[in-house]
Amino acid sequence: MTIYDYKTSDIQAKLANMELADLVILCYDQFPEVYRQFKADEPLTQKVQTLVQYCQQKQSWAKLLTRLKVKPELYQQINPKKLRELIDLLLECNMMSNDNSRDIVVADLPPEIRTSIIRNDAAKLDVRNILDTCLKHTNGLTELLDVIRYYDGNTLTMQRIDEFLR
């Protein structure tokens, strides 16, 4: 599970702006299951819908966006429910469970991240602010998890976080 969802309406709009022949070639080369569902007289909008449904079912968004030569992260958005689940998991980590240990984690983050974090006295809000700031930076989440793992080790909670983020 990831904390991101794809903005399917934006992807659908990008596909709808393609030339019909380009979409057919894309599906023929990269998504043969979709191509086999196409009918000769089908309009572009129907073909786009077929490809979108396939990508939703198979979780193939990253493959599609890579083939379209766009960065998948441009079409991602954070799922608020999954973000809250990740906050709860992080709060189970020893290093995130209290103010003093969170201070150490933040101090060990790269300066461009740590100086941007707005801290909060409430634990959940503090972790949310830390997480939000890390997510705004390239590899920020990895940096955060690396610091926590350094102090906590490969605990069951860290393993659960790793599994959650797959």
Question: What are the residue ranges spanned by the domains of the chain?
Answer: 4-77, 79-165
Q: Which residues of 93-124 are buried (b: 16+ CB within 10 A; e: fewer)?
A: bebbbeeebbeebbebbeeebbeebeeeeebe
3-state class (DSSP) for residue 77? strand
pLDDT in tens, the chain (166 residues): 466 778 888 899 999 999 999 999 999 999 999 999 999 999 999 999 999 999 999 989 889 988 888 877 677 777 889 999 999 999 999 999 999 999 999 999 999 999 999 999 999 999 999 999 999 988 899 999 999 999 999 999 999 999 998 8
What is the spatial distance between Cα 110 and Cα 135, in angstroms, rounded to a whole number?
13
